[in-house]
Amino acid sequence: METLTTEIQSVLSRLWQVVFQPWTLYQIFILTASYLVARLISRKFEPQLETWLRQIKLSPGLLRVFAALVRRLEWILFSVFTGTAYLVIVNTTWPSRAFFIKLGFALAIAWLFIAVASRILHSRALSNIVAILAWIIVALNITGTFSLAWSLIYWVSAVLFRSYTKMGSQTFHHLWTTQAG
């Protein structure tokens, strides 16, 4: 128990040192400001763009894609702002000082692509399932935890399979011996 407490304190201390670095705080501020500005702009222009889009006579499939893009204007703008911030920081200082901005940009682009691509499907339930599964896989991959998650899933399935087959063979043996006797 004492080693667990010491380990937790060590992890929290390292986390505190990482989070409260000046450049980490700058990145958190840049990400927050990018999101808030993108949200304000999208709230102002999204209704106007939707009205304009409804007046266009295009194929329903193409309109569906454009409508999905307009409804994601906030994330499009956030991606533009974070991508620009990343390029500015990388070209003026060390690339490590833009780690969280790069991560936010990659996750925003992935979310944008998945959200628009999944909305092409006509079934809302299927669209949501595809979006959730794709987002989980992409987010795990971008954050570098996909192989860890896959190993964990594999381990859990192996444990469950072993207990299931053990239980199944015992049940089969029990049925066989009661039928035979």
- Residue 37 lies inside a defined structural domain of this protein: yes
* Cβ neighbours for 36, distance < 8 A, ≥ 6 positions apart: none
State residue 181's pLDDT score: 47
Position 178 pLDDT exceeds 70: no
- Residue 14 lies inside a defined structural domain of this protein: no
Pick the residue with more confidence: 133 or 180?
133
* pLDDT, tens only, 47-83: 888 888 878 777 777 777 788 888 889 999 999 999 9
Residue 43 amino acid letter: R
- Residue 94 lies inside a defined structural domain of this protein: yes
Which whole number is the average pLDDT over 4-28?
83
Query: What is the distance between the alpha carbons of residues 171 and 61, in angstroms, rounded to a whole number?
Result: 54
Position 169 pLDDT exceeds 70: no
- Residue 153 lies inside a defined structural domain of this protein: no
* Cβ neighbours for 128, distance < 8 A, ≥ 6 positions apart: 118
Residue 136 amino acid letter: I
Share of the chain above pLDDT 70, in %: 89
- Residue 116 lies inside a defined structural domain of this protein: yes
Query: What is the distance between the alpha carbons of residues 122 and 115, in angstroms, rounded to a whole number?
Result: 13
- Residue 30 lies inside a defined structural domain of this protein: yes
Query: What is the distance between the alpha carbons of residues 167 and 9, in angstroms, rounded to a whole number?
Result: 41
- Residue 69 lies inside a defined structural domain of this protein: yes
Which whole number is the average pLDDT over 121-136?
87
Lowest mean pLDDT among 56-70, 72-86, 92-106, 167-181: 167-181
Tally the domains of the chain: 1
State residue 160's pLDDT score: 76
- Residue 34 lies inside a defined structural domain of this protein: yes
- Band of pLDDT at residue 102, cut at 50, 70 and 90: very high
pTM of the complete model beyond 0.75: no
Structural domain boundaries enclosing 65: 22-123
